[in-house]
Amino acid sequence: MFKRISALVVVGLAAMSVAACGGGGSTTAGTSGGGDSTITMGFSQVGAESGWRTANTKSVQDAAKKAGIELKFSDAQQKQENQIKAIRSYIQQKVDIIAFSPVVESGWDTVLKEAQNAKIPVILTDRAVDSKDTSLYKTFLGSDFVEEGKKAGQWLVEEYKDSTDPVNIVELQGTTGSAPANDRKAGFAEVIAAESKFKIVASQTGDFTRAKGKEVMEAFLKAQPDIDVLYAHNDDMGLGAIEAIEGAGKVPGKDIKIITVDAVKDGMQALADGKINYIVECSPLLGPQLMDLAKKVVKGEQVPPRVVTEETTFTQEQAKQVLSTRQY
C-alpha cells in the first residue's frame, strides 16, 4: 500500500509556454549554437536555514557538475536584498541563465525585468513569486505547498475523528512572506476549518530554523496551558520545538502531537522514535531536473511553465521502514 514516490513529474501545458519561449530562445541561441559551449548558470540560494536547504544546495551543485554546467552560487542568508544583489551581479556577468529560490513571494518584478531586458532567462526553483507577469520567468520547478498543508490537516482530521473535545493547535510558520509559509498555512487552515473543534490558539514564525522553533515553542508553552498539537512548517522547527517540549517536562508525540513538513533524515529519525507523529514529504532533490530545464531553455526549446515535485507522507511505522535508506 505504502509506496515511496521519488520521481518528479512534469505537469502543465506546453502550449502555454510558447509565448514565453520566443524572447529567451532567440537571444540565447548564439550561446549554445556551437553545440558544446559551456552553459553558465547564476544560482541565488535562499540560505542555509534547514536540513532541507542543505540537501537542496548539494543537489543543485552535484547536478550542475554532472551536467557540465558552470555554476555561480550565492547564499542570501534569508535576505531578499542579498538575492536581488546576486541576480544583478549575474546579469552584469552575462550568465546564460539565472535560477533562484525566492526567499519571499513579493517584490521581484523590477529585478526580473532587468534580467528580461538583458535577455537572460530565469527559472524559479523551489519557491514561487507573486508577479502577475509570468513572462518574467520561463518555468517554476518545485512542490505544491498548499497540497502539503492539506495533507497535514487531513492527518489531523483523521487522528481526531472520534473525539468531540476541542483540539488546541499551535503553529510554527516558516519565513514570513515565503511561499511555503503562506501556502502550508492556507492548505492546513482550509482542511481543519471543516470542523469547529480544531482551534489554532497561537501561530508565529520560527523562520524555518531549529533555534527559532525552540525559542517560539518555549513562549507558546508559557502562554498556552493546554496545547494538544503542534503543526510546524518544517522538520527543523519541529525538532527545535521538541527540545522546548522536553524542557518543559512534557512528552513530544504523546502529550503534544507533532506534524511537520520535509522528511529530512533528522525529522524521520524523530518520527521513527515516536517524537513526531506525522511528516509530509517535500523533496529537496531538484538539481537534476533544474539542469535539464536550463539546458532546454538555453537552447530555446519549449519547457512547461510549471513542474511539480511528486511527494508522499510518512507515519511512524513508515519512517522506521525507510530510515536506513534515507539520503538526506
Binding site for ligand GYE (CB under 6 A): 49-50, 52-53, 126-127, 180, 208, 234, 236, 261-262, 282
Q: How far apart are CA 295 and CA 57, in angstroms?
A: 19
Spatial distance between the Cα atoms of 134 and 138, rounded to a whole number of angstroms: 8
The dihedral through the CA atoms of 124, 325, 58, 260 has a sign that is positive
Query: How do 122-125 and 139-142 pair as beta strands?
Result: parallel
Query: What is the nearest approach in angstroms of ligand GYE to the Cβ of residue 147?
Result: 12
Please report how close the Cβ of residue 264 comes to ligand GYE at its closest, in angstroms.
Answer: 8
As measured in angstroms, the least distance from the Cβ of 66 to ligand GYE is 22
**Coil/strand/helix, residue 98:** strand
Q: Is the dihedral of CA 115, 52, 152, 188 positive or negative?
A: negative
* Distance of closest approach, residue 226 Cβ to ligand GYE, in angstroms: 28
Which residue, 87 or 167, has its beta carbon nearer to ligand GYE? 87
Nearer to ligand GYE, 96 or 236 (CB): 236
Strands (E), the chain: 8-11, 40-45, 70-75, 97-100, 122-125, 139-142, 167-173, 198-205, 229-232, 257-262, 278-281, 306-309, 313-314
Q: What's the min distance (Å) between Cβ of 97 and ligand GYE?
A: 21
CB-wise, 139 or 168, nearer to ligand GYE? 139
Question: Of 6, 9, 52, 47, which Cα lies nearest the Cα of 268?
Answer: 52
Q: Which is nearer to ligand GYE, 64 or 285 (CB)?
A: 285
**Minimum CB distance to ligand GYE smaller for 17 or for 56:** 56
Question: What is the chain's length?
Answer: 328
**Closest CB 144 distance from ligand GYE, rounded Å:** 11
Q: How far is the CB of 299 from ligand GYE (least distance, A)?
A: 28
Cβ proximity to ligand GYE: between 96 and 311 the closer is 311
The C-alpha atoms of residue 227 and residue 244 are separated, in whole angstroms, by: 13
Asked if residue 8 lies in contact with residue 282, where contact means CB atoms within 8 angstroms, the answer is no
- Least distance (Å) between residue 262 CB and ligand GYE: 5
Q: Which is nearer to ligand GYE, 49 or 96 (CB)?
A: 49
The CA-based dihedral angle spanning residues 109, 115, 119, 122, taken in that order and rounded to the nearest 10 degrees: -80
How far apart CA 274 and CA 33 sit, in angstroms, is 56
Give DSSP secondary structure letters for 231-267.
EESSHHHHHHHHHHHHHTT--BTTTBEEEEEE--HHH
Nearer to ligand GYE among residue 52 and residue 231 (C-beta) = 52
